Structure formats: structure tokens, C-alpha cells
Amino acid sequence: MPSPRPRLLPWPAENGKPCYLVSDDSGAGYIARLADEMETVQLRTGAELLAHARPLLRDRKAHTGELRFVGHRLAEALHDALRVAESRGMRLEDREEPAPERG
């Protein structure tokens, strides 16, 4: 049975637009597993970056180049985390059962 809606993947298409997976394997296929693994890496990388950024942001002697670099990386990590959240949220909505009709 095909999924009710396409899955947002954690990487963009070649043109930079969102990339989706349409599948009938309930998330068990190769691309779905690869996407799961990439989401895990993206979230772990974001957490590691945040752990590095906090002390740097507290350091009053940090150079603007360092701050700019970490700011760009944090923005990238936030973008990735938001994409993961959107994708997972869409999949959670698909699993929710419709509320019974009142009559």
C-alpha cells in the first residue's frame, strides 16, 4: 500500500528544491533507510556543533571570523534540523487515526 503522501528527504534535489520519496514499502526500502541514517547524522552533527559553539560564543576574545564561521554552521544545522522535524511531523500525521465522527 503506497504511503498517503511523499516523504520529505533530508537532502535537496539538484536544483536546490525539496526532494521527496514516493514509496509503497512503508519506510523499509533502501532510500528510506538511507534518509533515516542521514537524518541521524544531521541531528548528531547539529548537537556536536552546538556543544562547540556555546563556549565560543561566551568567549569575549573570539574573533569575528570564528563567530561568523560558527554562525553559518549553526544556520546550516538549524536548517537540517527543521527539515528533519518537518519530514517526521508529516509522517506522524500520516499515522494518526481520524477522529471518530460524532452523531
Element (H, E) at 18: strand 18-21
Out of 16-20, 52-56, 88-92, 95-99, which region has the weakest mean confidence (pLDDT)?
95-99
Out of 8-22, 64-78, 83-97, which region has the weakest mean confidence (pLDDT)?
83-97
Instruction: Give the residue ranges of DSSP H helices in the chain.
Output: 30-58, 64-95
Instruction: Encode pLDDT of 74-95 as tens digits.
Output: 999 999 999 999 999 988 876 6
